[in-house]
């Protein structure tokens, strides 16, 4: 178990739940980082007494510095400052709970410095997976998954022979719109998409769950984390979000991990691994749940999912392209400049326009990301 953490994205949904878990087990907080919510970040700093606090957006530096003027906490700002706290020798386990490709530099900085990474920021693995894997191989850092499905798979692989995996069964809640036709999705609103049936999360991942892009990103995340090809990953829609994922082995045994839909458990497991401790999250009662159901995903209606799966098979920078296109399209949808179905059309379009290339350097990744975003901006309907 870790005794200290550095938390990137501390003001978000995963960030605040991580602090709750840390407080429950007396894990000390060495550093905090967030993008812009100064008051919340300052309040967290007062409560958890980190050595350093970094704010991603430099425009907020003075406000944060002033808010913490009577403390001895070191305050810094900008992307370089966030990277620096992830690479600090006394960082402890670095929990990356930043949203989007903005987390990639810190993921790489953490791994290059040899620090242990507890990763919630799936976009950094999706966009820069090959680079992150190469950095892990070089530094020998440990990477512990925080995403609930990947934490489940990680638990199902404990002590089992990796070469006997037949299939990874990646479960999906299906989001608020599963079962609907494209015609029924024409007029759905932002509020409808933000209403997830089982999980309370940040806005971007909530939209990704509604389009099923989240599951496509998670297929790519699983490929990198567990060294399996996309053909060995099967997505199973499981509306109750109780079975968090499973692994089928050569002998036909299927080992699953179950729990209440509560992120505090996978967050905590990444911090206590390989130990298990009582968790502040909800307990599971199978009697209350009663029925568990399993269905096939609908990749014709949910085109984001199909595009991400296609990108997973193409490899190289294709996953980075679909991720970048999706981040841009979701941002437009969140500001009500795009209709729901247009997200999938633009993501598929960006992948169609993408020429296959390998990711050799960080600049390759950032260029592919920028090109995909530009595709979306130039093809989005003007409203
Ligand atoms: P969120 O929007 O609630 O929080 C995002 C956090 O990132 C905020 O603290 C924000 O300040 C910070 N941030 C954004 N850009 C930054 C930058 N450039 N520099 C520093 N900090 C920055 O998002 P979330 O729901 O907590 O999700 C975070 C990550 O975890 C995402 O990658 C998401 O896919 C993943 N994840 C979330 C959940 C969940 O239940 N929320 C579950 C599984 C995986
Ligand atoms: Mg997940």
Which of 176, 204, 208 is CA-nearest to residue 192?
176
Can you tell me whether residue 247 is helix, strand or coil?
A: strand
**Predicted confidence (pLDDT) per residue in 111-124, tens digit:** 999 999 999 999 99
Q: Please tell me the distance between residue 12's alpha carbon and the centre of ligand 1 in angstroms.
A: 5
Is the distance from CB of 67 to CB of 46 less than 8 angstroms?
no
Which of 209, 198, 371, 235 is CA-nearest to residue 312?
235
**Ligand 1 atom with least separation from CA of 205:** 34
**Ligand 1 atom with least separation from CA of 208:** 34
Q: Please tell me the distance between residue 90's alpha carbon and the centre of ligand 1 in angstroms.
A: 23
CA distances for 377 relative to 205, 257, 326, 342, angstroms: 20, 41, 11, 12
Percent of the chain with pLDDT over 70: 100
Is the distance from CB of 65 to CB of 39 less than 8 angstroms?
no
DSSP letter (8 states) at residue 283: P
Residues with CB under 6 A from ligand 1: 8-15, 33-35, 37, 56, 82, 97-99, 102, 120-123, 147, 199, 201-202, 204-205, 263
Who contacts 365 (Cβ-Cβ below 8 Å, separation ≥6)?
A: 104, 127, 128, 131, 317, 320, 359
By DSSP bridging, strand 243-249 and strand 254-258 are antiparallel
**Ligand 1 atom with least separation from CA of 203:** 2
Mean pLDDT throughout 229-239? 98
Q: Please tell me the distance between residue 178's alpha carbon and the centre of ligand 1 in angstroms.
A: 24
Q: Please tell me the distance between residue 327's alpha carbon and the centre of ligand 1 in angstroms.
A: 13
Residue 199 binned pLDDT confidence (cut-offs 50, 70, 90): confident
**Ligand 1 atom with least separation from CA of 15:** 26
Residue 126 scores a pLDDT above 90: yes
Q: Please tell me the distance between residue 355's alpha carbon and the centre of ligand 1 in angstroms.
A: 30
Q: How far apart, in Å, do the first and last CA atoms of the chain sit?
A: 51
**Ligand 1 atom with least separation from CA of 120:** 30
By DSSP bridging, strand 165-172 and strand 243-249 are antiparallel
Can you tell me whether residue 264 is helix, strand or coil?
A: helix
Q: What is the pLDDT of residue 192?
A: 97
Protein residue closest via CA to atom 23 of ligand 1: 202
- The distance of Cα 378 from the centroid of its chain, to the nearest Å, equals 27
Count Cβ atoms below 10 Å from residue 36 Cβ, excluding itself: 14
Can you tell me whether residue 19 is helix, strand or coil?
A: helix
Counting ligands in written order, which one lies closest to the CA of residue 201? 1
Question: What secondary structure does DSSP assign to 73-113, as a single string?
Answer: -EEEESHHHHHHHHH-TT--EEEE---SGGGHHHHHHHHHT
Residue of 12, 52, 213, 259 to test ligand 1 pocket, by largest number of atoms within 8 Å of CB: 12
**Predicted confidence (pLDDT) per residue in 273-294, tens digit:** 999 999 998 999 999 999 999 9
**Predicted confidence (pLDDT) per residue in 289-337, tens digit:** 999 999 999 999 999 999 999 999 999 999 999 999 999 999 999 999 9
Give the predicted TM-score (pTM) of the model: 0.98
Q: Please tell me the distance between residue 215's alpha carbon and the centre of ligand 2 in angstroms.
A: 7
**Predicted confidence (pLDDT) per residue in 253-272, tens digit:** 999 999 999 999 999 999 99
Q: Please tell me the distance between residue 329's alpha carbon and the centre of ligand 2 in angstroms.
A: 20
Q: What is the pLDDT of residue 152?
A: 99
**Distance between CA 265 and CA 272 in Å, rounded?**
10
């Amino acid at each position: 178990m870790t005794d200290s953490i550095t938390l990137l994205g501390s003001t978000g949904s995963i960030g605040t739940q991580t602090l709750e878990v840390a407080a429950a087990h007396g894990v000390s907080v060495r550093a905090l980082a967030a993008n812009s919510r100064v008051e919340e970040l300052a309040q967290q700093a007062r409560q958890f007494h980190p050595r350093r606090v970094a704010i991603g957006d430099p425009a907020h530096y003075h406000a944060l510095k002033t808010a913490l003027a009577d403390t001895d906490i070191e305050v810094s700002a900008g992307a370089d400052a966030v990277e620096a706290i992830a690479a600090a020798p006394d960082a402890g386990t670095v929990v990356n709970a930043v949203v989007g490709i903005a987390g990639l530099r810190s993921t790489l900085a953490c791994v290059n410095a040899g620090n242990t990474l507890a990763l919630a920021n799936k976009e950094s693995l999706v966009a820069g997976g090959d680079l992150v894997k190469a950095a892990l191989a070089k530094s020998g850092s440990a990477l512990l998954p925080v995403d609930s499905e990947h934490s489940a798979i990680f638990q199902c692989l404990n002590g089992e022979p990796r070469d006997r995996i037949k299939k990874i069964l990646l479960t999906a809640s299906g989001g608020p719109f599963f079962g609907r036709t494209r015609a029924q999705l024409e007029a759905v609103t932002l509020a409808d998409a933000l209403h997830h049936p089982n999980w309370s999360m940040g806005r971007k991942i909530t939209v990704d769950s509604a389009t099923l892009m989240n599951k496509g990103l998670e297929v790519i995340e699983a490929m990198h984390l567990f060294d399996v090809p996309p053909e060995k990953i099967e997505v199973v829609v499981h509306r109750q979000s109780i079975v968090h994922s499973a692994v089928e082995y050569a002998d036909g045994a299927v080992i699953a991990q179950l729990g209440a839909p509560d992120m505090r458990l996978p967050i905590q497991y990444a911090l206590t691994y390989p130990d298990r401790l009582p968790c502040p999250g909800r307990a599971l009662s199978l009697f209350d749940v009663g029925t568990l159901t399993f269905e096939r995903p609908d990749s014709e209606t949910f085109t984001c999912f199909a595009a991400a799966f296609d990108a997973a098979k193409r490899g190289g920078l294709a996953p980075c392209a679909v991720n970048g296109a999706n981040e841009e399209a979701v941002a437009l949808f969140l500001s009500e400049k795009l209709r729901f179905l247009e997200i999938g059309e633009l993501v598929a379009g960006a992948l169609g326009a993408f020429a296959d290339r390998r990711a050799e350097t960080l600049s390759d990744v950032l260029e592919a990301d920028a090109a995909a975003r530009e595709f979306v901006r130039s093809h989005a309907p003007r409203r």
